[in-house]
């Protein structure tokens, strides 16, 4: 197969890709012309969700340290519990909510809102709690702060340890879910505003879209 035939074969897919790329450039251009409040909500809103995720991680870490009587390595355990949930939540929200919305891949408002709520609850709320369990288990074993079970009782032991932590953190998980829902709703609303401006624009390039 010659190079020309290959290009002709892929031309429909290339055309779709170029159309999508052009549309994304137009959306980005119009996004930059929106009021600063809308821009800040979309650009910096996920960081608020991520900051709450850090707080969830620190709170869960603190609860488990008290249950396991861990007194040492407080800074060493707090740093990853603050940094990793923050980075993970911000990145996952951008990849699964913000970017699909503004690239036109997530046009369904209900889908966007549900996805935002799930990211907030699972990544922003539950993930820091699950992450704190092995971290504090390793610290408890290292400093022998609490007697740990044998292999036959491991699952039951950690379920017993984790239950009060999940009960105390349930409000935080709910707040994270609601925050994710709110951010997804607002960002989808900004996207709809851009589409409305595109439909009423006098620019022929935008009208073609």
- For residues 54-64, b (16+ Cβ closer than 10 Å) or e, as one string? bbbbbbbbbbb
Q: Is the residue at 110 inside a domain? A: yes
pLDDT tens per residue across all 209 residues of the chain: 444 444 454 556 665 656 667 777 787 888 888 888 888 988 899 999 999 999 999 999 999 999 999 988 889 899 999 999 999 999 999 999 999 998 888 889 999 999 999 999 999 999 999 999 999 989 988 888 888 777 777 888 888 888 999 999 999 999 999 999 999 999 999 999 888 887 776 455 544 54
DSSP-derived letter for residue 147 is: P
Count of domains observed in the chain: 1
25's tokens: 């450039």
Tell me the C-alpha distance between 97 and 117, whole Å: 10
Q: Is the residue at 16 inside a domain? A: no
Q: Is the residue at 7 inside a domain? A: no
Q: Is the residue at 28 inside a domain? A: no
The range of the structural domain enclosing residue 147 comes to: 37-208
Other Cβ atoms closer than 10 A to 137: 19
Tell me the C-alpha distance between 59 and 112, whole Å: 29
Q: Is the residue at 92 inside a domain? A: yes
How far, in Å, are 32, 41, 64, 70, 132 from residue 154 at the CA level?
Answer: 54, 44, 16, 19, 16
């Amino acid at each position: 197969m010659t190079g020309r035939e290959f290009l002709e074969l892929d031309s429909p897919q290339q055309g779709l890709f170029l159309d999508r790329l052009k549309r994304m450039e137009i959306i980005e251009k119009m996004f930059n012309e929106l009021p600063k409040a809308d821009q800040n909500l979309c650009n910096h809103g996920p960081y608020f969700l991520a900051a709450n995720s850090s707080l969830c991680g620190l709170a869960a870490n603190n609860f488990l340290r008290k249950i396991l009587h861990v007194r040492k390595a407080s800074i060493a355990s707090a740093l990853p519990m603050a940094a990793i949930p923050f980075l993970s939540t911000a990145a996952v929200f951008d990849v699964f909510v913000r970017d699909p919305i503004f690239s036109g891949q997530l046009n369904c408002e209900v889908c966007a809102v549900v996805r935002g709520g799930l990211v907030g609850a699972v990544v922003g709320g539950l993930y820091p709690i699950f992450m704190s369990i092995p971290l504090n288990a390793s610290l408890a074993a290292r400093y022998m702060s609490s007697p740990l079970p044998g292999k036959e009782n491991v699952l039951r032991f950690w379920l017993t340890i984790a239950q009060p932590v999940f009960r105390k953190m349930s409000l935080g998980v709910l707040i994270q879910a609601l925050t994710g829902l709110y951010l997804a709703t607002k960002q989808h609303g900004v996207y709809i505003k851009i589409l409305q401006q595109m439909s009423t624009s006098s620019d022929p390039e935008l009208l073609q879209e």
